[in-house]
Amino acid sequence: MNFSEVFKLSSLLCKFSPDGKYLASCVQYRLVIRDVNTLQILQLYTCLDQIQHIEWSADSLFILCAMYKRGLVQVWSLEQPEWHCRIDEGSAGLVASCWSPDGRHILNTTEFHLRITVWSLCTKSVSYIKYPKACQQGIAFTRDGRYMALAERRDCKDHVSIFVCSDWQLLRHFDTETQDLAGIEWAPNGCVLAVWDTCLEYKVLLYSLDGRLLSAYCAYEWSLGVKSVAWSPSSQFLAVGSYDGKVRILNHVTWKMITEFGHPATVNNPKTVVYKEAEKNPQLALGRLAFPAPRAAASPASNTESKYEIASAPVSLQTLKPIADRANPKIGVGALAFSPDNYFLATRSGQWLRPAPGPLTLSFEPQCSDPRRRKPDSVPNAVWIWDIQKLRLFVVLEQLSPVRSFQWDPQQPRLAICTGGSKVYLWSPAGCLSVQVPGEGDFQVLSLCWHFSGDSMALLSKDHFCLCFLETEERVGTAFGRPGDHT
pLDDT score for 367: 38
Q: What is the largest CA-CA distance in the chain?
A: 81
Cβ neighbours of 195 (radius 10 Å): 25
* Interval 395-444: pLDDT, tens: 999 999 999 999 999 999 999 999 999 999 999 999 999 999 987 778 99
Q: All domains of the chain, ordered by start, with CATH?
A: 1-130 (2.130.10.10)
DSSP assigned state of 317: P
Q: What pTM does this model have?
A: 0.88
The ranges of the chain with pLDDT < 70 are 281-303, 324-325, 351-377, 471-487
Q: What angle do CA 144, 147, 152 make, to 5 degrees?
A: 140
Report how far apart, in Å, the C-alpha atoms of 343 and of each of 34, 172, 286, 391, 392 are. 34, 34, 49, 10, 11
Q: Provide φ and ψ at 440, rounded to 5°.
A: -75, 145
pLDDT score for 168: 94
Pairwise CA distance, residues 115 & 130, whole Å:
5
> Of 89, 148, 85, whose CA–CA distance to 115 is shortest?
89
* Interval 214-225: pLDDT, tens: 999 999 999 999
pLDDT score for 459: 97
pLDDT score for 376: 59
Describe the chain by its helix, strand, coil percentages, rounded to 5: 5, 45, 50
Pairwise CA distance, residues 244 & 110, whole Å:
35
Q: Tell me if residue 68 falls in helix, strand or coil.
A: helix
